[in-house]
Structure 1
Amino acid sequence: MALSSIFGGGSPSQQQPVASGSATGVSVKEQLKTQIAQELAIANASELVNKVTENCFEKCLQSPYTSAQEGCVDQCLAKYMRSWNVISKAYVGRIQQASTSGEI
């Protein structure tokens, strides 16, 4: 399973081409929404990786490297992933609530 599929993205060959014409106006709008959502998911995943690298590795890894530092990195990564999951679920819930109430 590729990372892009985990985070909602896809390769260009997997993406549907955008149709033209007035009869497909709704379809084009939905395709654009999907493409934007995929690009945002990839950007969010990249940001997560950058922050994990920046914070966990700076906190835990010192020169010279020792195997004792692995536990610190593992704990830091686990904390980031738990936080990421909690925030993502809350964000998706709020978007769904706003969507059903007509705010979006």
Structure 2
Amino acid sequence: MEGSFGSDFGGVPGAGGGKLDPGLIMEQVKVQIALANAQELLQRMMNKCFRKCIGKPGSSLDNSEQKCIAMCMDRYMDAWNTVSGAYNSRLQRERANM
């Protein structure tokens, strides 16, 4: 095979002969994980609220379906934020005790 290993990663900063920056890689991984988590949250929320609020799917939502979805999504996000905040607080307490 011709070319160097680094040539396969032409778009990656630091690839192609230079050293990869572990800090940069970790930040990119964190961004990708956050994006995947946000997509999963949105998908779960949409599935749950759709099942709860849409009786007969059609070409448009009536006023009550729109209100139901808006309220459902608001409640879901409030619950997510509450659980997420409690989880983060617990992690911080446990890290402080280590």
Q: Which bin holds the TM-score, normalised by the shorter protein?
A: 0.5 to 0.7
Aligned pair partner of 2:33 in 36, 40, 47: 40
Aligned pair partner of 2:86 in 80, 90, 96: 90
Q: Which runs of 5+ in 2 are unaligned?
A: 1-11
TM-score by length of 2: 0.64
TM-score by length of 1: 0.61
- 5 Å-filtered alignment, 1:57-72, equals 57-63=50-56, 64=58, 65-72=61-68
Q: Which runs of 5+ in 1 are unaligned?
A: 1-15, 22-26
RMSD: 2.5
What fraction of aligned residue pairs are identical, expressed as a percent?
28
Deviates more, 1:64-73 or 1:49-58: 64-73
Structure 1 runs, 4 residues or longer, greater than 6 Å off: none
For the residues of structure 1 that align with 2:29 and 2:71, how far apart are their CA atoms?
33
Q: Number of aligned residue pairs: give it.
A: 81
Amino acid at match of 1:99: R
